[in-house]
């Protein structure tokens, strides 16, 4: 009985850490969803240009996606705090884009940090297509 | 240490224990004083070790004062007021400690022990370490630090006086007293104060020292097992840790006062230049936990000297004067190094950062930064 309680408690405690692996979606499904919302066909080249561009309107320390993710999505990134960020490219990091809540949270935060606004569905579809094309 | 055999005109005054004790005490007090006045966290352990060694030597010396050879005994050298007056009036030579020298011995014994006790009070109250930690508040520990420092200047003054006294008496009595403390023997002269010979009881001394050492160890061990009040919360809330350590280390809530945490949580949309918003449910849980365990609830040096003074947005710890003063010697290259990344990454060097301890004994620069 104690053991069961302990196991349940351990699972509960670990739940937030596992949230990133909800496994309720994947990159292709998200691209399809965002592209449908925008009424476009996802374009990896447009996504690359968006990823590399210097944006206006965001925070002074985060002018571009590359500020933290580096210009190569296949490489490790680094937050301004020094914390490493796993690669974005699906080819080197297949666990990316498998958790709807996680994807929504970080698009929500980082689009605001870099652009000072929410990303459009077209921008999301394109950049995800770019990450998937590498 | 040479062990000269006394010739016909010489006599053994200082036994081996007294000589080894004397020079070991010199060494430990010099080490403790030098490391203490430098006030470097990196050598704090040396300071504490040297100070405790000096205190242990004193305790052993007190035992030997009741069990040792003739001139080691308190009964032989502790002077009556009349002895002091007689010595000051230019009385005859003492083979053992003369009355003024004896006063110096007693003063040093008291001072070294007082330094050890006040040092442990400071260690317990300020660093929340050592046998006094369960009993001493930060306020008491930091208050006693002033006394500890005053006593340290006192022992420097006594050491200088002792040195001057040895030089003066060596010239007056035409003998090298420092050398006698090495060889143990002195010249026998007519008219000397000669004490009646006493037998040493080394087995009794060893037994007494062993009992005292075991007692000291037992007291220390039992105190170490007691809970220390005023420590920061050691286990971080799971929601807080999951949501707030994705980009940076999980800061212990004792690093900011409750009002600052409220300010941080209200400003997550522009959190040090980035959007770090969390869900409303997460925000509620996190805010409640942070404010319930904020700096006001911790009795650490960090809470008092740093955290409780942070009242202005953006509530940045690394912007505080106290933080900057403690990190002036750390080159920018260390913070920029990949193993650290930023000044905000406390845990790169402070192994106990997440627990909010920041003990001086848990600091270690990553070896990548030392190239």
Q: Any idea which architecture A24-133 has in CATH?
A: Orthogonal Bundle (1.10)
ipTM (interface predicted TM): 0.80
Tell me which of A83, A110, A111, A117 to substitute to probe the interface with B (most B C-beta atoms closer than 10 Å): A83
Model pLDDT, residue A7: 43
For helices B138-172 and B99-126, angle between their N-to-C axes, nearest 10 degrees: 160
> Using one digit for the tens of pLDDT, what is the confidence trace for A43-75?
999 999 999 999 988 899 999 999 999 999 999
pLDDT at residue B218, rounded to an integer? 95
Confidence of residue B38 (pLDDT cuts 50, 70, 90): confident
Q: How far apart are CA A19 and CA B107, in angstroms?
A: 66
Percent of chain B with pLDDT over 70: 98
Bridge pairing between strands B10-12 and B185-187? antiparallel
- State whether B241 and A61 contact (CB < 8 Å): no
| Mutation for A interface: B237, B238, B246, most A CBs within 10 A | B246
Q: Could you tell me which residues are beta bridge partners of residue B193?
A: B94
Q: Of B242, B248, B341, which has the smallest distance from its Cβ to A17's Cβ?
A: B242
Across A20-28, average pLDDT: 83
Contacts of A112 in chain B (CB under 8 A): 269, 275
The answer to whether the CB of A118 falls within 8 A of the CB of A21 is no
Place A4 in a pLDDT band, splitting at 50, 70 and 90: very low
Cβ within 8 Å, pair A109-B276: yes
The pTM assigned to this predicted structure is 0.85
CA-atom Rg of chain B in angstroms: 28
Segment B226-250 mean pLDDT: 95
The packing angle between helices A121-133 and A44-52, to 10°, is: 100
* Average pLDDT of span B133-149: 97
Residues of B in contact with A108 (CB under 8 A): 275, 277
Note the pLDDT tens digit of each residue in B158-187: 999 999 999 999 999 899 999 999 999 999
Mean pLDDT across B118-130: 96
Euclidean distance between CA atoms B41 and B357, whole angstroms: 14
User: How far is the alpha carbon of A92 from chain B, nearest alpha carbon, in Å?
Assistant: 20
Which pLDDT value is given to residue B190?
85
Query: Mean pLDDT throughout B126-138?
Result: 95
Query: What residue spans define the domains of chain B?
Result: 10-224, 238-370
Using CB atoms, which residue from B272, B274, B341 is nearest to A82?
B341
Q: Which residues of B touch A13 (CB under 8 A)?
A: 238
Q: Do A110 and B275 touch (CB under 8 A)?
A: yes
Closest alpha carbon within chain A to B334:
A82
Res. B205: pLDDT tops 80: yes
Q: Say whether residue B321 is in contact with chain A using an 8 A CB cutoff.
A: no
Residues of B in contact with A12 (CB under 8 A): 238
CA distance A71 to chain B (A): 18
CB proximity under 8 Å: B 274-293 to A:
274-277
Q: Which residues contact B188 (CB under 8 A, 6 or more apart)?
A: B9, B10, B11, B95
Find the helix or strand (DSSP H, E) in which A38 lies: helix A27-38
Q: For residue B40, what pLDDT band results from cuts at 50, 70 and 90?
A: confident
Half-sphere exposure of B102 (CA within 13 A, CB side): 21
CB contact under 8 A, B341 and A19: no
Span B279-292, pLDDT tens digits: 999 999 999 999 99
Residue B338: closest C-alpha in chain A = A82
Contact A82 B270 (CB under 8 A): no
Residue B30 scores a pLDDT above 70: yes
| For range B343-369, the mean pLDDT | 92
What phi and psi, each to the nearest 5 degrees, are found at residue B237? -55, 135
Give yes or no for a contact between A129 and A43, defined as CB atoms under 8 angstroms apart: yes
Average pLDDT, chain B: 93
SS3 for chain B is: CCCCCCCCCEEECCCHHHHHHHHHHHHHHHHHHHHHHHCCHHHHHHHHHHHHHHHHHHHHHHHHHHHCCHHHCHHHHCCCHHHHHHHHCCCCCECCCCHHHHHHHHHHHHHHHHHHHHHHHHHHHHCCCCCCCCCCCHHHHHHHHHHHHHHHHHHHHHHHHHHHHHHHHHHHCCCCHHHHHHHCEEECCCCCECCCCCCCCHHHHHHHHHHHHHHHHHHHHHHHCCCCCCCCCCCCCHHHHHHHCCCCCCCCHHHCCHHHHHHHHHCHHHECCECCCCCHHHHHHHHHHHHHCCHHHCCCHHHHHCHHHCCCCCCCHHHCHHHHHHCCCCCHHHHHCCCCCCCCCHHHCECCCCCCCCCHHHECCCHHHHC
In the prediction, which pLDDT does B5 show?
Answer: 63
- Of A16, A83, A108, nearest to B247 by CB-CB distance is A83
- In whole angstroms, what is the distance from residue B107 CA to residue B275 CA? 64
Nearest to A82 among B238, B272, B340 (CB): B340
Least CA distance to A14: which residue of chain B? B238
Stretch B144-168: mean pLDDT? 96
Give the Cα separation of B66 and B128 in Å (integer): 36
**Peptide bond connecting A49 to the previous residue in cis, omega within 30 degrees of 0:** no
| CB-CB contact of B347 with B356 (8 Å) | no
**B112: pLDDT confidence band, cut at 50, 70 and 90?**
very high
Cα–Cα distance measured from residue B131 to residue A22, given in angstroms and rounded to the nearest whole number: 48
Give the model's pLDDT for residue B192: 83
- List chain B residues with CB under 8 Å of A116: none
Domain ranges of chain A: 24-133
DSSP A40: S
* Cα gap B122→B301, rounded to integer Å: 11
Indicate whether B278 pLDDT > 70.
yes
- Assess B238–A contact: CB distance below 8 Å, yes or no: yes
Nearest CB to A16: which of B242, B270, B274?
B242
pLDDT band at A8 (very low <50, low <70, confident <90, very high): very low
Smallest Cβ–Cβ distance between A83 and the set B238, B273, B341 belongs to B341
Can you give the pLDDT at residue A1?
Answer: 39
Minimal-distance CA residue of chain B relative to A11: B238
Interface of chain A toward chain B, CB-CB under 8 angstroms? 12-13, 15-17, 19, 59-62, 78-83, 108-110, 112-113
Residue A3 has pLDDT above 50, yes or no: no
Contact between chains at A82 and B241 (C-beta distance less than 8 A)? no
- Domain B10-224 in CATH: superfamily? Transmembrane di-heme cytochromes, Chain C (1.20.950.20)
């Amino acid at each position: 009985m104690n053991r069961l309680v302990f196991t349940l408690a351990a699972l509960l405690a670990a739940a937030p850490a596992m949230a990133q692996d909800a496994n309720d979606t994947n990159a292709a499904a998200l691209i399809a969803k965002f592209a449908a919302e925008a009424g476009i066909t996802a374009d990896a080249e447009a996504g690359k240009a968006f990823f590399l561009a210097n944006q206006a309107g965001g925070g002074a320390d985060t002018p571009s996606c590359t500020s933290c993710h580096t210009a190569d999505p296949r490489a490790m990134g680094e937050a301004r705090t020094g914390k490493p960020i796993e690669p974005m490219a699906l080819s080197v990091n297949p666990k990316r884009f498998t958790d709807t809540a996680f994807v929504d949270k970080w698009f929500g935060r980082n689009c605001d940090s870099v652009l000072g606004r929410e990303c459009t569905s077209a921008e999301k579809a394109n950049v995800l297509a770019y990450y998937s094309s590498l | 240490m040479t062990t000269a055999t006394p010739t016909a005109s010489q006599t053994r005054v200082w036994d081996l224990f007294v000589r080894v004790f004397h020079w070991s005490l010199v060494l430990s007090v010099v080490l403790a004083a030098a490391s203490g006045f430098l006030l470097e966290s990196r050598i704090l352990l040396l300071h504490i070790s040297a100070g405790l060694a000096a205190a242990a030597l004193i305790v052993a010396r007190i035992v030997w004062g009741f069990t040792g050879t003739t001139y080691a005994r308190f009964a032989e050298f502790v002077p009556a007021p009349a002895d002091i007056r007689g010595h000051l009036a230019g009385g005859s030579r003492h083979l053992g400690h003369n009355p003024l020298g004896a006063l110096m011995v007693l003063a040093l014994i008291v001072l070294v022990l007082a330094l050890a006790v006040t040092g442990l009070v400071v260690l317990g109250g300020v660093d929340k370490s050592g046998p006094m930690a369960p009993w001493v508040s930060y306020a008491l520990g930091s208050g006693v630090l002033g006394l500890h420092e005053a006593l340290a200047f006192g022992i420097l003054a006594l050491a200088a006086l002792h040195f001057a006294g040895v030089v003066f008496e060596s010239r007056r009595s035409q003998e090298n007293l420092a050398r006698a403390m090495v060889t143990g023997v002195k010249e026998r002269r007519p008219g000397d104060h000669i004490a009646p010979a006493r037998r040493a009881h080394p087995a009794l001394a060893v037994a007494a020292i062993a009992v005292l050492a075991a007692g000291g160890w037992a007291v220390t061990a039992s105190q170490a097992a007691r809970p220390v009040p005023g420590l920061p919360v050691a286990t971080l809330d799971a929601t807080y840790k999951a949501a707030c350590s994705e980009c940076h280390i999980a800061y212990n809530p004792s690093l900011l006062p409750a009002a600052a945490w409220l300010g941080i949580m209200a400003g997550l949309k522009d959190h040090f230049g980035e959007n770090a918003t969390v869900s409303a449910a997460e925000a509620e849980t996190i805010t409640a936990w942070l404010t319930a365990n904020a700096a006001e609830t911790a009795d650490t040096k960090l809470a008092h000297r740093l955290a409780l003074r942070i009242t202005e947005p953006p509530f940045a710890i690394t912007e505080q004067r106290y933080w900057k003063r403690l990190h002036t010697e750390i080159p920018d290259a260390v913070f920029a190094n990949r193993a650290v990344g930023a000044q905000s990454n406390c845990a790169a060097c402070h192994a106990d950062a997440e627990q909010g301890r920041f003990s001086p004994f848990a600091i270690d620069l990553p070896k990548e930064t030392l190239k």
